Structure 1
Amino acid sequence: MRLNKETFVAGFALFSMFFGAGNLMLPPFLGHEAGDQWNWVTFGFIISAVIIPILGIVAHAKIQGTMFDFGKKVSPVFSYIYCFAVYAISIGLPSPRTASVTHEIAIQPYLDSGYLLTSSIYFALVLLFVLNRSKILDIIGKFLTPVILLTILSIIGIGLFTGPASTVVTDLEKPFVRGLFEGYQTFDAIGAVVIGGVIIVSLKLKGASDFKVNKALIIKSGCIAGLALLLVYTGLIYNGSIYSTWMEPNSSRIEVLSSLSIFTLGHIGKMFLGLLVSLACFTTAIGIVTGTADFVKGFFGDSDKAFKATAIIGCLLGVLMGQFDVNYIINIAVPALMLIYPVTIGLIFLNLVPHKYASPPIFKGVVAIILLFSIPDFLNSVGLAGVNTPFLKYIPLSSYNLGWFLPAIVIFVLLNILLRKGNQ
């Protein structure tokens, strides 16, 4: 696989837009909870936070359209509803969360100021970058990502060579599933369908219009981003596990991350961590707001006014939601993720397989089944577990909140068989 400077710049830009607040604070916390079972939570986390998102980027390379194209085979109406839901969730939860994390780690320890001031300055800068979106790939890929990676690798490297020799024994239940669902909180599968569109539009704005060349560039850059994410997540989870003996058992996600930075880089580590968090969160917020503005621009006939208005509204919403603390935003995100994440995974898979195995009827059937079997998980997440009927216990993987998975595979296979017979 031939790699050039442009491929690495795009790959670093992808990594940076993926690597935000959740991507930084969730892995060490997982390792802290898992202890000696860190390898199992890593496996689950990698599936939902690396493999599925990068497959989403590969699907984008195949389509080279907008996020609307991901679901249009179900129906245009469904695709618009799905797009609006994803973008509403993205600018309403993970984007503001980046400002909250930045405040709690980079600002609060040093300045006696409130969330409002931080989020106002933060999203003013985000807006500045978004309105200059043609330069996003170069600015992020060439300048911001190397600083982020250098700081993370310093924490991981020092931790590996100076940390405790053993991990604590824990009784964490279902470690693989715990890692899988913690990976949901990174929003990376959703991020893939949003950010992938940003990369494609940015390439076109730079004059790159050759379909095959863009496809190769996007896939290669996606692999680079995926490899970087894999190494960083594994390192952070392992460091969280070995340093768990030095931390309080009930430490929060941010407390674990702060402690890890101090253990590895000393008290100056807090300053490095603040810089790292600010850059990682900032690049993710840029990707989310730009992707949302791109979609609305296309919806209104390629209107630049719609792009600017959406960017401004997205940043204002970020300021408003950024007033809440990180744990609150994480908790209110769970119900939305229980519905939108399975559908997103299904759409990524369907857009990856050859067209003959993923015709519009198959899209409709698989997505309908995923939605149907995701409802119990959604109800559980909002405290309505009592409405579940007894038959749910007979659905494979339902106890792991994955009751939709096998029914989706079964309907995919059955519909393909039936359609093949019908065409004979």
Structure 2
Amino acid sequence: MSTLSSKELLFIIFMLFSMFFGAGNLIFPAFLGNAAGTEMWIPLGGFIITAVGLPILGVIAVGKAGSLNTLSTRVHPLFALIFPLLIYLSIGPGLAIPRAATVAYEMSAAPFLSGYLSNHAMTLFVYTFLFFAIVLWLSLSPSKLVDRFGKLLTPTLLILIAIIFIKAILTPAGTYSSPTETYATSSFFKGFLDGYLTMDALAALVYGIVVVNTIRAKGIQDNASLSRYMLVAGIGAGILLALIYSILAYLGASVSSIHQLDNGAEVLTLVMNELFGQAGIVLLGALFTVACLCVSISLIISCGEYFSRLMPFLSYKVWAAIVAVISFTIANLGLNQILAISVPILGAIYPMAIVLILLGLFNRFANHSIYFYGILFTAVFSIIDAINTALLNGAISNELTVIPLYAQGVGWVVPAVIGIIVGAIVGKFRPTVSVE
């Protein structure tokens, strides 16, 4: 029976970590720390649940099911068609990949350009063209993912973060200040919702099969060994993510007495300038570039493989190129436009992903009706809430506040629980339907 060596397993852990760790994973914990100040650890706990715990559980859930399609089919065949498509579009060319490219530009190129050039559309065009050319080139050989990430990109990323952290410990930039109003109340739930913005629970549903295929390519074929290695890889990547998020939150909090800023990019720029001067901006640019390259490569590979299976009349390489071209086009809309549409979209999709992951983990206790009604009730609430936020400007927020936990931003929890209970009751009066 084949086994993985410790070195092979470590590289798979590094690969999974780097697939998750993109621009948002740098920005959001740094902003959280800066805004929360002395209360940093409370919202950080909520953030780690949604930005670390759920993604790792998602990888394990998909590994247990065998694929996202198998997991989604337990709800309904139509759901298995629509929901994965929405995920791949959201974390792929529609949102996450363009966001990574534009954040890389804002952090690694714009600071070194004149005001005219940094705001000129042609400059962004040239940068994103080069960015996606590199990403596409590295994405055309997905079998080399472990070598590229595990042996090169991830160690580089971790070394850069370690240098920054050691410098911050030896020569602190400032001290903690009191939290801003947003983080002074319901801080745990605020951190919990901030974790949505990393999009990693959605990405986990995609990356799970990538990790499964990587482990199988090493000769591991039996399900028991596969599940065990998936669990170890998930826990290892989760520990790395939690550690890095804690470091970034600490860095943000350490300059909260100097200035509490509007976004994480500004926070990290202030941190690096305080610690290293102008050289810090160069180091920060390198950090963002490596992180954005990692996540963009991972997402283009995942999307290319998904669309080549869904529509096999085009090869993987053609689909990878199509995803890269669409991502390049949307990236040139600019970062602000991309971010403006991300919150309502994530608000609609994320709760369904969370419920699906949890049901997948406890599949032995969940019949078809529990999957169907649990997701249905969650979807109805999430879509109504997203419409209220994006299109109605909060016109029905007062009516929605009757739902417990709505004010904390997690109003979907009660509808999900009710749906699961309804599903359990319905399942008792229907013939048992296998969801394996």
**TM-score, normalisation: structure 2:** 0.90
Note the C-alpha offset of 1:60: 2.0
1:9 corresponds to which of 4, 8, 11: 11
Aligned pairs (5 A) from 1:211-222: 211-222=223-234
Q: CA RMSD in A?
A: 2.2
**Correspondence 1:136-285 to 2 at 5 A:** 136-163=145-172, 166-173=175-182, 174-205=186-217, 207-247=219-259, 249-285=260-296
Q: Is residue 375–residue 419 contact of structure 2 (8 Å, CA) maintained in 1?
A: no
Structure 2 residue aligned with 1:20:
22
The answer to whether the 8 A contact 1:44-1:177 is kept is: yes
Note if 1:317 corresponds to 2:318. no
Residue 221 of structure 1 deviates from its aligned partner by: 1.0
The 8 Å contact of residues 174 and 257 in structure 2, kept in 1 or not, is answered as no
Q: Distance in 1 between matches of 2:309 and 2:214?
A: 14
Query: Structure 1 CA distance, aligned partners of 2:137 and 2:222?
Result: 29
Which sections of structure 2, spanning at least 5 residues, go unmatched? none
Q: Measure, in 1, the Cα distance between the counterparts of 2:222 and 2:276.
A: 46
| 1:402 equivalent in alignment to 2:403 | no
Q: Deviations over 1:141-200 (max 9, x none)?
A: 111100101111222232234225641113423322221222111110011011222222
* Structure 1 partner of 2:368: 360
Aligned counterparts of 2:245 and 2:394: Cα–Cα separation in 1 = 36
User: Where do 1:28-43 residues align within 5 Å?
Assistant: 28-43=30-45
2:137 to 128, 136, 155: 128
The residue matched to 1:99 in structure 2 has which SS?
helix
- Report sequence identity in percent: 32
Amino acid at match of 1:233: Y
Return 276-285 or 373-382, whichever deviates more. 373-382
State the shift of 1:410 in Å.
3.3
8 Å contact kept, 1:198–1:294: no
Instruction: State which of 73, 96, 99 in structure 2 corresponds to 1:97.
Output: 99
Cα distance in 2 for residues equivalent to 1:47 and 1:223: 13
Contact 2:100 2:296 in 1 (8 A): yes
Give distance in 2, aligned partners of 1:175 and 1:410. Answer: 26
Contact 1:343 1:367 (8 Å CA) reproduced: yes
Task: Say which of 315, 320, 324 aligns to 1:306.
Answer: 315
Change (3 A) 1:122 1:172: same
- Contact 1:44–1:180 (8 Å) recurs in 2: yes
- CA apart distance, 1:390: 5.7
Runs of 5+ in structure 1 lacking a partner?
none
Note if contact 1:134-1:206 (Cα within 8 Å) is conserved in structure 2. no
> What SS does the aligned partner of 1:280 have?
helix
CA distance in 1, matches of 2:389, 2:222: 45
Report what 1:74 is aligned to: 75
Report the counterpart of residue 87 of structure 2 in structure 1. 86
Amino acid aligned to 1:273 = L
User: 3-state DSSP class of the match of 2:290?
Assistant: helix
From the superposition, tell whether residues 3 and 154 of structure 1 become closer, same or farther in structure 2 (CA, over 3 Å): farther
In the TM superposition, 1:372-387 aligns within 5 A as 372-385=380-393, 387=395
Secondary structure in structure 1 of the residue aligned to 2:373: helix
Distance 1:422 1:206 in 2: 43
2:303 corresponds to: 292
Q: 2:349 touches 2:382 (CA, 8 Å); kept in 1?
A: no
Deviations 1:27-83 (A, max 9, x none): 111111111221122012111101111100111221232x22221111121111011
Compute the displacement of 1:100 (Å).
0.6
Alignment partners' CA distance in 2, 1:395 and 1:360: 26
Amino acid at match of 2:86: A
The 2-side partners of 1:142 and 1:197 are apart by 21
Distance in structure 2 (CA, Å) of the matches to 1:364 and 1:197:
23
Cα displacement (A) at 1:328: 3.1
Matched pairs, number: 418
Distance (Å, rounded) in 2 between the aligned partners of 1:161 and 1:224: 28
Contact conserved, 1:133 with 1:202, CA < 8 A, in 2? no
**Cα displacement (A) at 1:383:** 4.3
After superposition, the C-alpha distances for 1:374-400 in whole angstroms (9 at most, x for unaligned) are: 134202321415552865322111112
Distance 2:351 2:140 in 1: 32
Q: Aligned in 2, Cα 1:115/1:408: closer, same or farther, shift over 3 Å? A: same
